[in-house]
Structures are given as C-alpha cells and as structure tokens.
Amino acid sequence: MSVSEIHNESNRLFHKVKRGDSAAFEKLYKRLYPRLDDYATKILKDKVVAQDILQEIFIKLWRKRNEIAPINIEAFLFRILKNQCLTHLKNMKVFENTKMNVKHSKEIQELYRIDFLKDEPVLLIEKELELQVEAIIETLPDKCREVFLLSRVNGMRNREIADKLGINIKNVERHISRALKSFRAHFGNKIPIIVIGIILTNIYS
C-alpha cells in the first residue's frame, strides 16, 4: 500500500468516526498510535509523558469529532501533537534549550486552539468523564475489577491473566464481559471501549 493509500484509508476511517462509528475509531487509533507515539517520544525524550499527551488527544478527538471539519486526519493529529509537546516543554522550562525548530510554534498553537478546541480551555481529559469511569470500576466485584484492569490497563492477554490469578480462562472472559456490559449500560455507544481503556490507564498509571 502506497503512502497516499495509507493516508486515504485514515481519512475514510475518520469520516466514519465523525458519524459516531466507534469501531472505526478503534481502527484509526491502532493505525496511527505507533507513529504518533514515536514522534512524540523523539520530541520529548520521555515515553511516559508522550503517551499521556497522545492518549488525551485521542480522547478529545472522539469527544469533539462532530466539530472537526473533514480534514487530512494524519496531518491534523501530528500538528496537534507537536503543539502539545512544545507546550509541555515550555511548561517544563526546557523549551529554549531544545534543538527543535519552533519558528512556527505560535501559528501552530493558534491553529490548534481554533481547529480543535475552538475557544475552550486546553483541558483534554474532562474530569467528569474520568470520574464516571472510575465510579463504574468501583461498582464491579473485586475479582471482576482486577481482571478487567489487568486486561485494559496492563495489556495482559486472557491466558496470562488466568495464569497469574490461578483461575480458568473462561472465568477471565466472563469477568471482562461483565465489566464491558457495565460500561456499555452506562455510556451506550457514546464512548468507545478503547477510550475507556485510555482513561483507565490514565487513572491507574
């Protein structure tokens, strides 16, 4: 697949995302995350911070999808990510010591404010959403919560979880299914499961 075809596929997925297609959002996330993560890590020299910033951007992308005009989604996300990385470096008071070319940083920041956030404050993870996710997690039975967090936060496979906890793999599947049902009962199709996983990682990391 050529570079052009790759970009076109990402744009097609984003058009579906704008219509509320959570499956398309997950595909877009998995498609773009590795390159965006590598890009941010090279800028910041800190993989943990890079992942935090990137996760916040994807959450905001889903929440604001209806307000974003049809665009080249890859270029859009790279631009926003660069701006957020620059902002972080400024806040850490190391911005002037970096070797990056920031000639257009003010223009990028303004585009980010207008195109992505409109005139809202730069708060990418809304506290209300985080609190809702945390509240649902707390309602789960202890074993169900433990299994679900190992799966979604630690990224463990079902077999690995079963071995770690000394339980049958079918029980692992049932616990995960129960947790997912709780989230779907609360959020419906408004929040993709992958976004919930991002929020959980942010809460429990």
- Residue 4 confidence (pLDDT): 52
- For residue 122, the one-letter residue type is V
- Residue 101 confidence (pLDDT): 41
From the centroid of its chain, how far is CA 182? 21
Q: How far apart are CA 78 and CA 73, in angstroms?
A: 9
In this structure, what token pair is assigned to residue 28?
């877009």
Question: Taking a C-beta distance cutoff of 8 angstroms, is the pair 179, 144 a contact?
Answer: yes
Which helix (H) or strand (E) segment holds residue 100: the answer is none
**Residue 124 main-chain phi, psi, to 5 deg:** -85, -35
Mean pLDDT calculated for residue range 108-123: 39
Tens of pLDDT along 60-107?
A: 899 888 888 777 888 889 888 988 888 887 777 544 444 444 433 444
Helix, strand or coil, per DSSP, at residue 122: coil
Tens of pLDDT along 141-181?
A: 999 999 999 988 888 889 999 999 999 999 999 999 999 99
- Residue 159 confidence (pLDDT): 93
- For residue 182, the one-letter residue type is S
Mean pLDDT calculated for residue range 115-138: 62
- For residue 77, the one-letter residue type is L
The CATH fold of domain 3-115: Rna Polymerase Sigma Factor; Chain: A (1.10.1740)
Q: Is the pLDDT of residue 1 over 50?
A: no
Say which residues have a Cβ less than 8 Å from residue 19's Cβ, sequence separation at least 6: none
Q: Where are the domains of the chain?
A: 3-115, 127-204
**DSSP H helical segments within 21-157, as ranges?**
22-44, 47-63, 73-91, 105-115, 127-139, 142-152
Which helix (H) or strand (E) segment holds residue 165: the answer is helix 158-165
Return the CATH number of 127-204, one of 2.30.40.10, 1.10.260.40, 1.10.10.10, 1.10.645.10: 1.10.10.10
